[in-house]
Amino acid sequence: MNSLYNRRTIRKYQQREVAPELLTKLFEAAFRASTCGNMQTYSVVVTRSAAGKQRLAPAHFHQPMVTEAPVVLTFCIDLRRFSTWCKLRKADPGYNNFEWFVTGAVDTLLAAQTFCVAAEEQGLGICYLGTTTYNPEQIIEALQLPELVFPLTTITLGWPDEQPEQTDRLPLEAILHDEVYHDYSSADIDRLYAAKEALEENHRFVAENGVETLAQVYTNIRYTREAAEAMSAKLWDIMKQQGF
Amino acid sequence: MNSLYNRRTIRKYQQREVAPELLTKLFEAAFRASTCGNMQTYSVVVTRSAAGKQRLAPAHFHQPMVTEAPVVLTFCIDLRRFSTWCKLRKADPGYNNFEWFVTGAVDTLLAAQTFCVAAEEQGLGICYLGTTTYNPEQIIEALQLPELVFPLTTITLGWPDEQPEQTDRLPLEAILHDEVYHDYSSADIDRLYAAKEALEENHRFVAENGVETLAQVYTNIRYTREAAEAMSAKLWDIMKQQGF
């Protein structure tokens, strides 16, 4: 369990390959994760070539990890393989809809996270790229993803070349609800966010961004309503375009 | 890594409690998982009471694990806590949309799967309940989930009282794509599904269900188009109703 407690996201990697045998071992662990009906409704595109990383970079806003990591893995919801199998076996697959987009997302993320846990246990470092759902159309083009395949998350992988501080987390009581959901009072929020708001680095964030509160760093700068609404519309359109 | 390779889903549990201290340890590991912008956009409702399990049982089609497991965990996308914090800090949260439903789903599932990996390493057994997205409205009612909270997956947890055979998995080459997506030819499908189709238990499934192919067990019986389309419409409605 130690690697689970001590983990931190790694964005800088040594110029050192990840051996193909090790990658294989990690994928074998990942694909033992729970999967709905044993359907394994996911695919992983493995990018190791410099040209491939360059094609992905714009979709991820040119974050340096994409071109600097030895391995980039795009985890995709994939109802295509299963549907193709059905069609070739006199069966009519009904998996081109929202329910299976969500079920496929569950499958995909359990495999992705199991991969990461296994990788970190071996001393590797990973970084999830949330940008995957911001620009899915660019990733679809770069990786030539056909209908019923959707890029959900991306992981950069390599041997760590940094040891950043561990980031904070909310106290357990902020996340856990006993038997039923207990809504948050103003006093609850004050108590649960107090440690986060007191962090030196968060005071710096607020000052650097010229805002009044840490929450405004999120709402005004990092994750604005305007951007979220534009991305929501696009995400829905691309999901439909991919046949879901 | 051994517990990752040797895992199997466990549906029968000993009549033996999971110690609260152990649960706390597992949650601490789970919530170290990667999370978008360190926002932790999830909540977990912990059900241990008999009455609480009874309330959840119908939503999960009365699968016996729900009432027999010592612990049932409902992992929910939660943009409510973060949005409440924003509102109390003079910030306008724009997280009531599809983009944040999906981003919240990623956060939620990375935490859920890290919990499961940690639990299995400690010798516990888990079962994911895909039924969570079939009847979300019943779970929302049972757990009193307010706006911007959505039940995404459920885990039953306990000390194993069975040791089932490991289920098969597709060969790695079925899942992995080198640099770009390689679509599946008829010959590919034949090769990749050959081992699965040859399994004794799958022959039995086909015979018992009076169908011609294993794929038809899925499309005609287990996961039909009609059911998926009805669930898709409902899932979308409930997502909207919860404010996304």
Closest alpha carbon to A153 in A21, A60, A88: A60
Residue B168 reports pLDDT greater than 90:
yes
What pLDDT is stored for residue B1 in this prediction? 83
pLDDT, average across residues B71-80:
98
Confidence label for A35 from pLDDT (cuts 50, 70 and 90): very high
| Spatial contact of B196 and B202, defined as CB atoms under 8 Å apart | yes
- ipTM surpassing 0.85: yes
Mean pLDDT, chain B, integer: 97
Tell me the backbone φ, ψ of residue B153, rounded to 5 degrees: -150, 160
What pLDDT is stored for residue A1 in this prediction? 83
What pLDDT is stored for residue B148 in this prediction? 98
* Rounded distance between C-alpha atoms, residue A168 and residue A50, angstroms: 34
Which residue on chain A is closest to B88 by alpha carbon? Answer: A186
Task: Give the bridge partners for B151, in sequence order.
Answer: B76
On chain B, the residues whose CB falls within 8 A of the CB of A33 are: 113
Q: Check CB contact under 8 Å for B213 and A90.
A: yes
Confidence label for A63 from pLDDT (cuts 50, 70 and 90): very high
pTM beyond 0.95: the answer is yes
Q: Check CB contact under 8 Å for A172 and B24.
A: yes
A42 touches chain B (CB under 8 A): yes
On chain A, the residues whose CB falls within 8 A of the CB of B112 are: 110
pLDDT, average across residues A19-33:
98
pLDDT, average across residues A212-227:
98
On chain B, the residues whose CB falls within 8 A of the CB of A34 are: 9, 116, 126-128
Q: Check CB contact under 8 Å for B32 and A7.
A: yes
Residue A17 reports pLDDT greater than 90:
yes
Query: What are the CB-based long-range contacts (under 8 Å, 24+) for A172-175?
Result: A172/B24, A172/B27, A172/B28, A172/B31, A174/B40, A174/B81, A175/B27, A175/B31, A175/B40, A175/B42, A175/B43, A175/B44
pLDDT digits (tens, 9 = 90+) for A139-177: 999 999 999 999 999 999 999 999 999 999 999 999 999
Domains of chain B are 2-164 (3.40.109.10)
Residue A135 reports pLDDT greater than 90:
yes
* Rounded distance between C-alpha atoms, residue B97 and residue A229, angstroms: 7
pLDDT digits (tens, 9 = 90+) for A95-109: 999 999 999 999 999
pLDDT digits (tens, 9 = 90+) for B105-134: 999 999 999 999 999 999 999 999 999 999
* Rounded distance between C-alpha atoms, residue A148 and residue A22, angstroms: 30
- Nearest chain A Cα distance for residue B186, angstroms: 7
CA B62 to chain centre: 16
| Spatial contact of A217 and A205, defined as CB atoms under 8 Å apart | yes
| Spatial contact of A5 and B32, defined as CB atoms under 8 Å apart | yes
